[in-house]
Amino acid sequence: MNPHKTMTSNNGAPVGDNQNSKTVGEYGSVLLEDSYLIEKLASFDRERTPERVVHPRGAGASGYFEATKDMSAYTKAVLFAKAGKKTDLAVRFSTVIHGNGSPETLRDPRGFAVKFYTEQGNYDIVGNNLPVFFIRDAMKFPDMVHSLKPSPETNKQDPNRFFDFFSNVPESTNMITRLYTDLGIPQGYQYMDGSSVHGYKWINAAGKVTYVKYSWVTKQGVKNLTIEEAAKQQGMDWQHATMSLRKDIADKNYPQWDLYVQMIAPEDLQSFDFWPLDATKDWPADKIEKIKIGTMTLNQNPVNYFEQVESIAFSPADLIPGVEASEDKLLQGRLFSYFDTQRYRLGGNFQQLKINQPLEPVVNYNSNGYGSFANKKFENPDVNYQPSNKASFADNSEFKQSETTLSNVTITQKKISKTNDFAQAGDFYRALTKKEQDNLIKNLCGDLGQVTDKEIQKKMITFFYRADSNYGMRVAEKLGFSQKDFRN
C-alpha cells in the first residue's frame, strides 16, 4: 500500500515517475514520445498569457461506451477491464482541411475523435473515418496541409498545389484512392466508420506489450454521397451532417458504433509485407483478426455548442495506464502537436474547461498563468515542487511506463525500408464494385484534370498504375494520355 498520493498528468492519468525523462538507454537521447515531459515543459513555458485561434468545422455529441469483452489479459486500461463496464464519453466529428462554416458536402477526410472519461484519467482515440493517412512521418505534415489549404497568393484551394505535393509523395496513393471514392463524402457522421489510423501499445498487468489498432463500425450502415448527390444536397442544406446527427439523437434514434481491435505481438511486427506502424497502411482483416470489444452509443446532444463541441480538446497523447504510444513516426509527432495546438487555440487552461476535465481531481504543481486557472488547495501551500520533505506526493511505480529494450541503436533520419506504397491501394481498387470504380475515376479526374502541369498528372498516373494497371490506364485515358506519352 503506497501511503503517498499519486501525482497525475493534466488528463488525470497517474504518473509513475516525475523525476526522469524517457531516454534511449540509460545515457541516450530524450524521446519526443515522453508526452508527460512535453506536457510539463509546455505548461511551464506558458505560465504567462497565451494567444488562441479558431478550429475547423465539426459536430459533436455525448454518450457512453459499454465493453462487451474482458480484455484485461492484454491491457490494464480500465474501460476494457470487464464485459458490461460502462464509460461516459464525448465525440467530435469534423472535416480535416475545410474551415469553420464550410459546407459538409465537400470531399475531405472526416475526423473521428472520442474522449473517454475513465476513473484513471481521460483517454482519447483520435482518428479518421478512413483507416489510413496521406503520409507516414510528421515532418511532412505542415507541408501537406499547406498544399491542401488555399494558396497564399490567390487564397483559392487548388488541385495544382496539392497534386504537386502528392506527386512527390508516393505513400499517399492508398489514401488518395480511398478519399476519391464516395467514402470521401459521407451522407452523415452517423453513417461512417472510424479508425485510430495508428497502432498503439496495450500493456497488461504483467507488463506484456501487444500492438493494437482500433476500428469503429457504424451500426447505421456506411452511406455516402456521390458527387452529384453532394451538389444537390449543398443546394438544399450544406449543414446536413450536423443537423442529421442532432435530429437522430433528439428523436431517440441513438447512433451506435461497435469498437473492434486488431492485435499484433511485438515479435510479429516484421512478418508482413508492410510495416504495421506505417500510418499509410491498413491492417488487413484477413491477416489480422478484428475482435469486437464494445459498443458506443451517442444519446445526448450538446446544450451549448461552444462549450461542449468547440471547446473539447483531443490529443493522441491523452493516454491512461494500459495504453502507450507506438513507434509510429506520424503518431510520435502528433503526441506533441495536438496538445500544443490546443494550448494555442483554447489557452493554457484548456484541460480545466468542464468538457475536458477528468473525473478525478488533477494533482500536480503546474503554477500560475492560465495553466493553473483553477487554484489548487494543497496541505502545504508553500510547496509547489516535488520532491519535498514537506509534502506527501511521491512517485508510484505501479504506473511507470513500459520498458523497451534496444540493442545496437543508431539515431538516424531516413525513410523506412519496407514502404510498399502501392499494394494496398491496388487491393482496395480491385475490391470496389464497377460502379464504385467508375465513381473513383470520375471524382479523381475531376480534380486531377484541373492540374495544368502535365508532368504532375503523369507522375500521379504512374502511382495509380503501379497500384493497379487498369486503375492507372483508366485515369490516363480519362485525362487524354496515351501509352506513347509514358515512353522515355
Catalytic positions, written as ranges: 55, 128
Report d(CA 285, CA 428) in Å as an integer: 13
Nearest to 349 by CA among 369, 376, 319: 369
* Residue 457, C-alpha cell as written in the block: 498528372
H helices, E strands: number in the chain: 12, 12
Torsional class of 140: left (φ above 0), alpha (ψ -120 to 50), beta (otherwise): alpha
Report d(CA 434, CA 4) in Å as an integer: 64
Angle at 269 between CA 266 and CA 272, to 5 degrees: 155
Angle at 288 between CA 282 and CA 294, to 5 degrees: 90
- Report whether 329 contacts 138 (CB < 8 A): yes
- Report whether 207 contacts 404 (CB < 8 A): no
- Report whether 71 contacts 65 (CB < 8 A): no
Reduced to 3 states (helix: H, G, I; strand: E, B; else coil), residue 60 is strand
Q: Which residue has the cell 500500500?
A: 1
Contacts of 81 (CB under 8 A, 6+ apart): 67, 70, 71, 72
* Sign of the C-alpha dihedral computed for residues 119, 339, 392 and 205 taken in this order: positive
Nearest to 320 by CA among 358, 347, 290: 358
- Report whether 462 contacts 485 (CB < 8 A): no
Reduced to 3 states (helix: H, G, I; strand: E, B; else coil), residue 136 is coil
